[in-house]
Structure 1
Amino acid sequence: MKASVFYGKDDIRFEEVDKPEIGTNELLIQMKTCGLCGTDIHKVLEESVPSGSVLGHEYAGEVIAVGEEVSDFALGDRVTGGIHVPCFTCEQCSRGHYTLCPEFKKTNIDPGGFAEYVRIPEEHVKDLLYKIPEGMSYAEASLTEPVACCIHGQKAVDIHAGDSVLVMGAGPIGLIHSQLLKNKLVKEVVVTDVSDHRLNNAYDFGADATINTAEHDLETYLQEQNHPGFNIVIIAAGVSALLSQAMNVLKRGGTVVCFSPFGVKPNVEIDASMFFRDEKSIVGTYSVSPYEFEEAILAIQQGVIDSEALITHQMPLSDLGEAIALTQDKTENVLKIVLENK
C-alpha cells in the first residue's frame, strides 16, 4: 500500500509501505479522508517525530476486513474515531482524567491516517470507533476528532449562557470553538489573531467581533472600547505569551483554558496575586476522551459545525508535503485541509 511518510520537513515521500495485518479482534479500514491537524504540521516543521513516521489521526474510512471475534462492525461500515484509548480503571481514569492515563499514549492506530489502509486495534474497536451517520460525507466525518477535542476542552470550564468569551486564535480549532460557544448561547464571542485572512472568516463561524493583535495591543484596545473583559478565555494558538495577556483581560472570577500546546519559550510571567485577589483560574486541557466523539458527530450532523465552510481544501493523499506548505502561505485563505485517498 502507499502512505505519505515523513523523513524530514522538506522530505515527505508517497511510497510503498507494508499493509497491516489484523488480529481476531481488529479491523482494517480503507482510509477515505484524513484531516491535516496543526499538531501534524508542527511535528513535520519541527522534525519532532522519528524519520519514517506516518502521521495523521483525523481519519474516516470504510471497513474492508473484520477480525473473526468482532461483532459490532461489518464489511462496508463507514467509521471514524480517535488514536488514543485510556484503560478506564487507573487512578487518573477513576478521576475522569482519561487523557492522563498511563496507557493513553501507548495505544495508537497502525500506521497513522496518512496511509491507504489502517489497522484498528482491539482497544479502539471496543471503545473508540464510531459509525458515520448516513448522509454525512467522509470529509465531514474527518472533522469528528478535532470537534471532539474542542468539546473536551470546553468541558474543562463552566460556560454559562450570557458569558463573554475570548478565543485567541482564528485557525480551524479557534473557529470550531467559536461555533460550539455560540451554540451554548454565550452573549459574546471575540476572536483574536494576527491574520486578516483568518479574522475575516471568523464572522462566519460565530464571532461577534475580531481584533487583529498585530495591529492593536489587546489590553489597550479593550480599554479604549470600554470593554469590561471576559468570563472565559480559550487559548487556541500555541503561543505562550498569550497566557499573560489572557489573564490580564479576564474578569474577576474568570477562567483561562489552555487548549493549545506551548512548545516554544513556554515560560511566562503572571501576576500571581490575581489568583487570590481576583479568584482567576487557569485550566489545561489535552487531547480528547472517548466520551466526546458522539457529541462531535451530532454537532457536525446537526449543523452546529459548518463543515462545508471550514474545509477549504481537499487534496490527494500524495500531496501531504504540498498541503503543509500551503498552510504556511500567508497569502492563501487556508482553513481546514483534508487529504483524500482516491
Structure 2
Amino acid sequence: MKAAVYYDKGDIRYEEVALPMIGPDEILLKVKACGLCGTDIHKALDRLVSPGTVLGHEIAGEIVEVGREVKGYAAGDRIYAAHHVPCFTCHHCRRGAYSLCPQFKRTNVEPGGFAEYIRIPALHVQHTIGKLPAQVSDEQGAMVEPVACCLHGFEKIDFRPGASVLIMGAGQIGCIQIQLARHFLASQIIVSDLNPFRLQKALEFGADYAVNSATHDLETEVMEITAGAGVDVVIISAGVDALLPQAINVLNRGGTVLVFAPFSGRQVSIPAARFFQDEVKIVGAYSSNPYHYPTALQLLSSRIVDAEKMITHRFSLAELPTAIACAHHPSGQVIKVMIKPEQEEGNAVGTVSAGE
C-alpha cells in the first residue's frame, strides 16, 4: 500500500509500505479521509517525530477486515477512529484527566492516517471508534477527533451560558470553537487573528467581532467592545507565547484563560496579583478523551459544527508536502485541509497561491 512517510523537515515521501496485519481483536481500515491537524504540521516542521513516521490522526474510513473476535463491527462499516487510548484506571484517569494517562501517548493506530490502510488495535476498537450514520460524510467523520478536543477544552473551562469569549486564532480549531461557543450560548464572541481571510470566515461561523491584531490594538478593541469589563473566557488557539499576557489583560474578574495551543516554552510575564484579587484562572487542555467522541459526532451530524463549510482544501496522499505548506502559509486562504487517499494526484481542491 501507499503512505506519505516523514523522514525530515521538507522530506516526506510518497512510497510503498507494508500492509498492516491484524490480530483477532483488531480491524483493518481503508482510510477515506484524514484531516491535517496543526500538530501534524508542528511535528513535521519542528522535527518532533522519528524518520519513518506516518502522521495523521483525524481519521474516517471503511472497514475492510475484522478479526474473528471483534463484535459489533463488520466489513463495509464506515467509522471514525481516534489515535490515543487512556487506561481508565491510573491516578490521572481516576481524576478524569484521561489525556495525562501514561498509556495515552503510547497507543496509536498503525501506521498513521496518511496511509491507504491502517490497523486499528484492540484498545482502539473498544474505546475510540464509532460507526458513521448514512447522513455523515467521511470528511465529517474525520472531524470527530478535533471537535472532541475542543469539547475537552470547553469542559475544562466550565463554559456557562451568557459568557463573553475571546478566541485568539481563527484557524481550523478557532473556527470549531466559535461554533461551539455559539451553541453553548455565549453572549459575545470576539475573534482575533492576523489573516483577513480567516477573520472573515470567523464572522461567517458566528463570531460577533473580528479583530485584526496586526492593524488594531487587541486589548483596546476588546475593552471597548466589553465596555471596560473584559471577557469572561479567553481561548488561546495559536501557539504564540506572547498571547498569554494579552489574554490576562483582557480577562474579566473571575474569568478563565484556556491555553489550547502548544507554546514554545519561552518565559512571559503576567500580573500575579490578579489571581488573588480577581480570582482569575489559567487552564490548559491537551487532546481529547473517548467520552467526547459521541457528542462530537452528534454536533457534526446536526451541523452545529459545519465541517463541510470549514474544509477549504483537499489533497491526495502524494501531495502531503504541498498540503502542509498550504496550511502553514500565514496569509493563505485556508481553514481546514483534508487528505484523501483515493484522490488522484494533481486533482487538489482549493486554491494554492504561489507563496504556498
Residue 21, structure 1, aligned to residue 21, structure 2: yes
Question: Structure 1 stretches of 5 or more lacking a match?
Answer: none
Deviations 1:166-205 (A, max 9, x none): 1010001001000001001110110001111110111111
Aligned-partner Cα distance in 2 for 1:255–1:313: 34
Give the match for residue 233 of structure 2. 232
Aligned-partner Cα distance in 2 for 1:212–1:197: 10
Give the match for residue 221 of structure 1. 221
Asked if structure 1 preserves the Cα contact closer than 8 Å seen for 2:139 and 2:308, the reply is no
Asked if structure 2 preserves the Cα contact closer than 8 Å seen for 1:244 and 1:269, the reply is yes
Aligned-partner Cα distance in 2 for 1:47–1:157: 32
Q: CA deviation at 1:224?
A: 4.7
Asked if structure 1 preserves the Cα contact closer than 8 Å seen for 2:8 and 2:44, the reply is yes
Give the match for residue 112 of structure 1. 112
Percent identity between the aligned chains? 50
Asked if structure 2 preserves the Cα contact closer than 8 Å seen for 1:83 and 1:108, the reply is yes
Residue 38, structure 1, aligned to residue 65, structure 2: no
Give the match for residue 295 of structure 1. 295
Q: CA deviation at 1:223?
A: 3.9
Which amino acid is 1:77 matched to? D
Aligned-partner Cα distance in 2 for 1:250–1:71: 49
Give the match for residue 98 of structure 1. 98
Give the match for residue 127 of structure 2. 127
Corresponding pairs, count: 341
Equivalent residue of 1:145, what SS? Answer: helix
Which amino acid is 2:280 matched to? K
Aligned-partner Cα distance in 2 for 1:288–1:330: 26
Q: Which moved more, 1:201-210 or 1:327-336?
A: 327-336
Give the match for residue 63 of structure 1. 63
Aligned-partner Cα distance in 2 for 1:241–1:253: 22
Asked if structure 2 preserves the Cα contact closer than 8 Å seen for 1:170 and 1:193, the reply is yes
Asked if structure 2 preserves the Cα contact closer than 8 Å seen for 1:311 and 1:335, the reply is yes
Q: CA deviation at 1:81?
A: 2.0
Deviations 1:30-53 (A, max 9, x none): 011100000001111112111111
Q: CA RMSD in A?
A: 1.1
Give the match for residue 200 of structure 1. 200
Deviations 1:88-138 (A, max 9, x none): 111111111111111111111000100000000000001111111112110
Residue 157, structure 1, aligned to residue 157, structure 2: yes
Aligned-partner Cα distance in 1 for 2:237–2:247: 11
Aligned-partner Cα distance in 2 for 1:224–1:133: 45
Query: Would you identify which runs of 4 or more consecutive aligned residues in structure 1 move more than 4 Å?
Result: none
Asked if structure 2 preserves the Cα contact closer than 8 Å seen for 1:28 and 1:118, the reply is yes
Aligned-partner Cα distance in 2 for 1:153–1:223: 24
Equivalent residue of 2:220, what SS? Answer: helix
Q: CA deviation at 1:217?
A: 1.9
Equivalent residue of 2:326, what SS? Answer: helix
Aligned-partner Cα distance in 2 for 1:129–1:224: 45
Which amino acid is 1:14 matched to? Y
Q: CA deviation at 1:222?
A: 3.1
Asked if structure 2 preserves the Cα contact closer than 8 Å seen for 1:81 and 1:293, the reply is no
Give the match for residue 246 of structure 2. 245
